[in-house]
Amino acid sequence: MKAVVASAAGGPEILDLVDRPTPEPGPTEIRVKVAAAGVNRPDVVQRQGNYPPPPGASDVLGLELAGIVESTGANVTRFQPGDRVMALVAGGGYAEFAIVDQTNALPVPDGISMVEAAAFPETYFTVWSNLFERAGLAAGETVLIHGGTSGIGTTAIQLAKCFSAKVITTVGSAEKAQAAVGLGADRVVIYKTEDFVAATLEATEGRGADVVLDMVGADYLQRNFDAVAVDGRIAQIAFLSGSKGSFDLRPILVKRLALIGSTLRARPVSMKAELAAELEQHVLPLLRDRKAIPVIDSTFALHDVRAAHARMDKGAHIGKIVLTV
């Protein structure tokens, strides 16, 4: 089969389409003939040499995919050949075939395209885990979502609105602001010209946001302390601006804050299975009804993976970039 690997650490030019043996499913695994695979920021960080696959995971890039079940292991009961599935994987998505544990796959609802389905698992698993399970966002609360037009951001805005939260989000341009409003954001802050702390306090009558979802990191941490409400929660899911800095941590005590962090990729299959079950119950109906649907920025053929990563590196995308196989 054809698959994408990084020949070294660097820019998109080090991504190569190579020949690899077609993998065989284990007893509880399915082999999926991949139709599409989502491109995510962690793929870029892996390409840059800063996010190696966890032990036992494939060195083939790609953390999410959609396709057709081609074969199943001896103990698989959930799917059968011919089923349409979308799945979260710890690696191996950028390929013609991928192996998935049956519990980490979800059925693709009728009416949802393979491109849309491929853009679902990584961001929806991440947002559900961090925004709703760990940070406990509830109806009537206000959430500040940084990077509102990223894959994570577009997902978080839609899900927060579906569950009756008020959404404030930061974006980098007027075009992106318009897209965020279209997704339901109540207040959009163009961070290059506005202070998101002041805007958040104004939008909440001085209280601050109950929850902050942040992937920026060091540059925003102190300001997130200022923007969050008393008893607020900050869910930290990445460090795009770096993980080190000088901080005054007193607001954690004074405001009784919870600073929450997590990664998804290296967590056990069993934990991801629990998340998949939660998504199947609470979120797949929203996807089926197109009330929370992946926003697709662009698609690229698998052999154009370098162009897809160049698009991600540029940072102008709105929503998800997807490879088609």
Pick the range with the lowest mean pLDDT from 9-13, 15-19, 242-246, 248-252: 242-246
Answer yes or no: are the C-beta atoms of 296 and 272 closer than 8 Å: no
Backbone angles phi, psi at 96, to 5 degrees: -75, -30
CA distances from 33 to 23, 73, 86, 143, 308 (A): 11, 15, 11, 38, 21
pLDDT of residue 23: 96
Give residue-wise pLDDT tens across range 47-58. 999 999 999 999
End-to-end CA distance of the chain: 11
Backbone angles phi, psi at 302, to 5 degrees: -55, -40
Give residue-wise pLDDT tens across range 76-133. 999 999 999 999 999 999 999 999 999 999 999 999 999 999 999 999 999 999 999 9
* Distance in angstroms (rounded) separating the CA atoms of residues 145 and 235: 10
Amino acid identity at 175: E
Q: Which domains does the chain have, with CATH numbers?
A: 2-120+266-324 (3.90.180.10), 124-261 (3.40.50.720)
Give residue-wise pLDDT tens across range 122-141. 999 999 999 999 999 999 99
Q: What DSSP designation does 95 have?
A: B
pLDDT of residue 214: 98
* Distance in angstroms (rounded) separating the CA atoms of residues 151 and 125: 12
Answer yes or no: are the C-beta atoms of 3 and 95 closer than 8 Å: yes
Mean pLDDT value across the chain: 97
Give residue-wise pLDDT tens across range 231-286. 999 999 999 999 999 999 999 999 999 999 988 999 999 999 999 999 999 999 99
* Number of helices (H), then strands (E), in the chain: 11, 15
Instruction: Give the residue-averaged pLDDT of 10-27.
Output: 98
Q: What are the residues facing 2 on neighbouring strands?
A: 19
pLDDT of residue 139: 98
Give residue-wise pLDDT tens across range 248-263. 999 999 999 999 998 8
Backbone angles phi, psi at 162, to 5 degrees: -60, -30
Q: Is 216 helix (H, G, I), strand (E, B) or coil?
A: coil
Give residue-wise pLDDT tens across range 132-171. 999 999 999 999 999 999 999 999 999 999 999 999 999 9
* Distance in angstroms (rounded) separating the CA atoms of residues 175 and 177: 5
